[in-house]
Amino acid sequence: MCPPVHFAVEHSINPWMDPSVPVDADRALAQWRALRRTYEGLGHRVDVLEPLLGMPDMVFTANGALVIGERALGARFRAPGRAGEAPAHRRWLTDHGVDVRMPREINEGEGDFAWTGRRILAGSGFRTSPAACTELAEVFDVPVAPLHLVDPRFYHLDTALAVLDDRTIVYYPAAFSDSSQRLLASLYPEAIIATADDALVLGLNAVSDGTHVVLARQAEKLAAQIAERGYVPVPVDVSELLKSGGGVKCATLELHRATTATPAGTAGDR
């Protein structure tokens, strides 16, 4: 995670961002600290990346890489204003023993890549290049399922889909192309389907450890759906980050454990 010390909405690179709407930086920082305490209270370790002056979006660490075990594919941001974040993520990961591969194609890390323990779900359409799927397969040697986003409000995969465990996802179908909806229905016939109301408060921008699901407090119906499936919803308020089109997952880069599976895929730890 990276504290939103310099958080601001100074440009508009997604439909949520309006520089004319005031941002309360102190409130954003308080909400971020509460999110960090939530993870620590659930027994997770939180490592902190030093924020850089002039990088107001750096709080959204999910975009910095995809990390599985001791290997990572670094980010290459589409927006020039975020380009300086990528080297900071690479340095941190390298300093902590991760083999970071330099990207050829544009990708925005876990913003568009979701590791399920069996395969990588890879989103494109607004930020990440479809050609990044080839890089993912080369770097991690696991199956990659390409998904195409069609609604600009759901500009990253992590705004429209969350992985709950190695067999279950939750997603908002209307964010995806028809072919991607068919693929998701085929891969995950028992997926939880989110409503538009919950998707539009970025309720799907959530983090699951397989038992607890940390998600936006405003996504009340989604929390109930998740609880019905046996998971424990953990609501938090990150509404100030929503002014920049971000939420729980955006503010969290997960350091996934590797599997010992062959490319055919078996369940892995998250």
Closest among 99, 107, 45, 53 to 75, alpha carbons compared: 107
Mean pLDDT for 65-77 is 98
Confidence at 259, pLDDT banded by 50, 70, 90: low
In a domain, 59, yes or no: yes
Instruction: Establish if 10 belongs to a structural domain.
Output: no
Residue 4, in any domain of the structure:
no
Q: Count Cβ atoms below 10 Å from residue 52 Cβ, excluding itself.
A: 15
In-domain check, residue 141: yes
Does 20 reside within a domain? no
Nearest CA-CA partner of 170 in 111, 127, 116:
116
Please answer whether residues 54 and 80 qualify as being in contact, where contact means their C-beta atoms are separated by less than 8 angstroms: no
Show which residues are catalytic: 156, 250
How many beta carbons lie within 10 A of that of residue 191, not counting itself? 17
Q: Given this model, what pLDDT does residue 261 score?
A: 40
Mean pLDDT of the chain: 94
Sign of CA dihedral 81, 83, 84, 90: positive
- Residues listed for the chain: 270
- Max intra-chain CA distance, the chain: 50
Is the pLDDT at 200 greater than 70? The verdict is: yes
User: What value does the mean pLDDT take over residues 115-127?
Assistant: 97
Specify the pLDDT at position 270: 33
Nearest-angstrom CA–CA distance, 270 and 256: 5
Q: Does 2 fall in a domain?
A: no
Q: Are strands 192-193 and 169-171 parallel, antiparallel or unpaired?
A: parallel
pLDDT of residue 269: 35
Domain membership of residue 14 (yes or no) is no
For the beta sheet containing 192-193, the strands, ordered from the edge strand earlier in sequence to the opposite edge, are 161-163, 169-171, 192-193
Q: Which of 153, 154, 145, 168 is nearest to 270 (CA)?
A: 168
CATH number at residue 95: 3.75.10.10
Here the tokens at position 165 are 């465990």
Percent of the chain with pLDDT over 70: 96
Domain containing residue 178: 25-256
pTM for the model: 0.93
- With contact defined as beta carbons under 8 Å apart, do 187 and 145 qualify? yes
How high is the pLDDT of residue 132?
A: 98
Report how many domains make up the chain.
1
Please compute the mean of the pLDDT values over residues 225-241 and round it to a whole number: 98
Residue 155 has pLDDT above 80, yes or no: yes
> How are strands ordered across the β-sheet holding 212-216?
207-208, 212-216, 232-236
pLDDT digits (tens, 9 = 90+) for 8-57: 888 888 888 889 999 999 999 999 999 999 999 999 999 999 999 999 99
119 pLDDT band, cuts 50/70/90, is: very high
Q: Does residue 263 surpass a pLDDT of 70?
A: no
Pick 270 or 232 by higher pLDDT.
232
User: What tokens were used for 200?
Assistant: 């539009």
Is residue 269 assigned to a domain? Answer: no
Q: How far is CA 94 from CA 45, 68, 109, 168, in A?
A: 18, 13, 16, 31
